[in-house]
Copies of this chain bind each other. A is one copy, B any other.
Amino acid sequence: MRAVVGIDLGGTLVRAGALDPEGQLLAWAETPIEAARGPAAGVQRITGLVHDILRQIGAVQLLGIGIGSTGPVDRQLGAIQNPHTLPTWENVDVVSPLQDHFGVPVTLENDADAAALGEYWRGAGGGLDRLVMVTVGTGIGAAFVYRGEIYRGVQGHHPETGHNVIDASGPPCYCGACGCWESLASGPAIARRAQEAVLEAATPTSLLARAGGDVTAIDARLVAEAAAGGDLLARQVIAESARYLALGLVNVIQFLLPQRIILGGGVMRSYELFRPVVESVITQHNVMAPTHLVEMRPALLGQQAGVVGAGYAVYQLLQGEK
Contacts and interface: CB of A to CB of B under 8 A. Distances in A.
A86 interface: no
A170 B28 CA distance: 50
Copy count, this protein chain: 2
Nearest to A284: B176
Interface string A226-253: 0000000000000000011001001111
Given A168-B166, A177-B285, A287-B176, A159 B251 contact: no
Name the residue among A163, A288, A290, A294 with the largest chain B CB count within 10 angstroms: A288
Interface size bucket, A side? Answer: 35 or more
Nearest to A255: B255
A250 B244 CA distance: 18
A255 B166 CA distance: 13
Contact of A154 (B130, B166, B177): B130
A165 interface: yes
A138 interface: no
A250 to B, nearest CB: 6
A251 B247 contact: no
A177 B290 CA distance: 14
Interface string A158-197: 1111011111111000111101000000000000000000
Which 9 pairs between the two chains have the least Cβ-Cβ distance? Answer: A153-B257, A160-B288, A167-B168, A164-B254, A160-B289, A255-B255, A176-B287, A159-B257, A176-B285
Interface of A: 130, 152-155, 157-161, 163-170, 174-177, 179, 243-244, 247, 250-259, 284-290, 293-294
